[in-house]
Amino acid sequence: MSLYNNEYEEFLFHRIEDSDLLTGFVIGHLVIEHLLEEVILNYDSKLKDHFLSLSHNRKITLINSLGLVPDGVASCLQSINKMRNRFAHQLGYEPNKGELLNLISKCKDNFSDLSDGLEQLQRALSETDSLVEAQGKHGVGLADLFIQVVYDLEAYANKEV
């Protein structure tokens, strides 16, 4: 029996927990992209080809314009995507503590935070100098951010329209 509630949670913890920030962030971003596809397919499977042809930014915009996710959630997903783009286009980019705290705060304000992972992560990062230190001292890290996002995206993917 797994300690985790679902396949995404287990995947994120196993893949992100022992990875560096860049790898962990890309993994989390890929899981979000997969769930966005589930959201649109559950809404209208005929949109698949069009959806897959869009950039990540435009996928979020489309899902938001269809009312499948609230504005705050779409804005937070855009912020995650912007940070991922910085990793992709600025070799050696590493977000500073302030950037990470802003992202965590934005996610905390727009996602359910069912297990208080975002609250714990925000507190731990505030008390330490880095995500690595927060993980070591408090047992919370980047995986906690993406898991909270995943919980809500799963709900949006399964909601009746």
Going from the N-terminus, what domains does the chain have, and what CATH number goes with each? 7-158 (1.20.120)
Identify whether the C-beta of residue 128 lies closer than 8 Å to the C-beta of residue 102: no
Of 8-17, 58-67, 73-82, 123-132, least confident by mean pLDDT is 8-17
pLDDT of residue 7: 74
Q: Would the pTM count as exceeding 0.85?
A: yes
pLDDT of residue 1: 32
**Read out DSSP for 51-101?**
HHTS-HHHHHHHHHHTTSS-HHHHHHHHHHHHHHHHHHHSTT----HHHHH
How distant, in Å, are the alpha carbons of 65, 88, 124, 135, 141 from that of 97? 32, 19, 11, 14, 13
| Helix, strand, coil distribution of the chain in percent, nearest 5 | 75, 0, 25
DSSP state for residue 1 in the 8-state scheme: -
At residue 5 the predicted structure's pLDDT band, cuts being 50, 70 and 90, is low
Q: How much is the mean pLDDT over the chain?
A: 90
User: What is the rounded average pLDDT of the residues 37-56?
Assistant: 96
pLDDT of residue 4: 42
pLDDT exceeds 80 at position 48: yes
